[in-house]
């Protein structure tokens, strides 16, 4: 019988070593995705490339899970394995209740996939594309029309049904790709970099559609992204990936809470040293520094610490002129785990002005 470490050995991972994994408690049959030791090795001109190195994770029904990582981390390779476009070279898995290796057809029937670039024909009309896709899934002509109209309505494509695909904007095109992936009402949808190349407004609009998929229909969504803000805004849970392994997993807030905590910067009208002393006594406070009238420090929860600080300063007759809480970003998480930044130009740091008292 195969050792449980066999796929890892195949992927070049030492036996017995376990990466941080996204496993969920519960029975496998209740999970929408479960993979163990999933690996993919490519051999190019005699050189082995371990694109995915024996990963473990679970996805529960109704979750929106993001697979976040920099270019080349193994996101697309993982997605292609989960959607049966690529056979794993190691590991096991079930997707939508079907075995990835022994029942790929069952997987394909039950899932929806929206890959990068889509697969639409530029000359055909929007309604034709949706109906054709529905017919390919075996729906009757009447049902195909009904589904087409419903999806057009849901994805803001109503009124565009007679437009040739080539005339659609980037956002409309992406929403059409998603409509095509949903035509057979799958309970699990895979989205590969759903908003790459879209302008900020179209991205925000698409996020709304993804949220509604879950809230209105309970659809499970697994998406890949290298946008930190996208993972943060959309996902219940994030699997952070790098070099073919999962380096962390958790909700966006839980991941950010793993970093040293919120950074607080306050300005006082005088007695900065005394204010710093008070700040340093707050629960979990660290990295206290003073620069003129400015005091900086970190605490696990900025929103909880600030009222306590205000009361303490008040008690000593110190006036706070302003306060700012900066929450850690997912990039801070990635940086602390890998020593590198995801370098996402679109992710703005979350800084919140919380008080201006002067």
Number of residues that bind ligand ATP (CB under 6 A): 13
- Span from 29-37, 41-49, 165-173, 336-344 in contact with ligand ATP (CB under 6 A): 41-49
Q: Which of 108, 212, 129, 137 is nearest to 172 (CA)?
A: 129
Q: Is 201 among the residues that bind ligand ATP (CB under 6 A)?
A: no
**23 close to 239: Cβ distance less than 8 angstroms:** no
Regarding 44 and contact with ligand ATP (CB under 6 A), the answer is yes
Q: How far is CA 131 from the centre of its chain?
A: 30
Verify binding: residue 172, ligand ATP, rule CB under 6 A.
Answer: no
Inter-residue contact 96 to 173 (CB < 8 Å) = no
Which of 11, 54, 57, 76 lies at the binding interface for ligand ATP (CB under 6 A)? 76
What CA–CA distance (Å, rounded) separates 175 from 209? Answer: 9
Asked if 75 is part of the footprint of ligand ATP (rule: CB under 6 A), the reply reads: yes
Rg (CA), the chain: 24
Tokens at 158, concatenated: 């109503």
Nearest-approach distance from CB 260 to ligand ATP, in angstroms:
27
In terms of CB distance, is 51 or 180 closer to ligand ATP? Answer: 51
Question: Is there binding between residue 345 and ligand ATP (CB under 6 A)?
Answer: no
Q: Which residues contact 79 (CB under 8 A, 6 or more apart)?
A: 67, 115, 190, 192, 222, 224
Q: Does 226 bind ligand ATP (CB under 6 A)?
A: yes
Task: Tell whether residue 77 is a contact of ligand ATP (CB under 6 A).
Answer: yes
Is 49 a residue that touches ligand ATP (CB under 6 A)? yes
Residue (51 or 178) nearer to ligand ATP, CB? 51
Q: Does 173 bind ligand ATP (CB under 6 A)?
A: no
Instruction: Give Cβ neighbours of residue 152 (< 8 Å, ≥ 6 apart).
Output: 126, 127, 130, 158, 160, 161, 179
Among 3, 25, 46, 71, binds ligand ATP (CB under 6 A): 71
Q: How far is the CB of 245 from ligand ATP (least distance, A)?
A: 12
Contact between 69 and ligand ATP by CB under 6 A: the answer reads yes
DSSP 3-state assignment of 206? helix
Q: Is 53 in the site for ligand ATP (CB under 6 A)?
A: no
Question: What phi and psi values does residue 264 have, to the nearest 5 degrees?
Answer: -115, 135
Q: Which residues bind ligand ATP (CB under 6 A)?
A: 42, 44, 49, 51, 69, 71-77, 226
């Amino acid at each position: 019988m195969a050792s449980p470490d066999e796929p890892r050995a195949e992927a070049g991972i030492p036996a017995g070593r376990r990466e941080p994994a996204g496993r969920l408690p519960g029975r496998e049959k209740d999970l929408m995705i479960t993979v163990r030791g999933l690996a993919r090795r490519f051999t190019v001109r005699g050189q082995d490339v371990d694109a995915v190195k024996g990963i473990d994770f679970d996805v529960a029904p109704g979750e929106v899970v993001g697979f976040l990582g920099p270019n080349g981390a193994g996101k697309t390779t993982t997605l292609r394995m989960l959607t049966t476009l690529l056979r794993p070279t190691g590991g096991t898995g079930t997707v939508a209740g079907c075995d990835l290796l022994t029942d790929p057809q069952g997987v394909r029937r039950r899932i929806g996939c929206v890959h990068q670039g889509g697969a639409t024909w530029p000359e055909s009309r929007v309604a034709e594309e949706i109906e054709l896709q529905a017919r390919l899934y075996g729906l009757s002509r009447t049902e195909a029309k009904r589904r087409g109209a419903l999806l057009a309505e849901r994805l803001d494509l109503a009124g565009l049904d007679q437009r040739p695909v080539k005339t659609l904007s980037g956002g409309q095109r992406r929403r059409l790709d998603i409509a095509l992936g949903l035509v057979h009402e799958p309970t699990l949808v895979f989205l590969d970099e759903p908003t790459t190349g879209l302008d900020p407004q179209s991205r925000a609009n698409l996020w709304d559609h993804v949220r509604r998929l879950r809230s209105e229909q309970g659809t499970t969504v697994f998406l890949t992204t290298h946008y930190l803000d996208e993972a943060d805004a959309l996902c219940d849970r994030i699997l952070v990936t790098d070099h073919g392994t999962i380096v962390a997993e958790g909700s966006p807030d839980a991941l950010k809470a793993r970093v040293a905590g919120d950074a607080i910067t306050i300005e006082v009208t005088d007695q900065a040293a005394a204010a710093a002393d008070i700040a340093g006594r707050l629960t979990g406070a660290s990295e206290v520094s003073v620069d003129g009238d400015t005091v900086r420090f970190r605490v696990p929860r900025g929103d909880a610490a600030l009222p306590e600080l205000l009361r303490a300063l008040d008690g000593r007759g110190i006036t706070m002129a302003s306060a700012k809480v900066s929450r850690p970003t997912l990039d801070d998480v990635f940086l602390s785990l890998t020593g590198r930044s995801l370098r996402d130009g679109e992710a703005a740091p979350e800084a919140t002005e919380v008080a201006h008292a002067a």
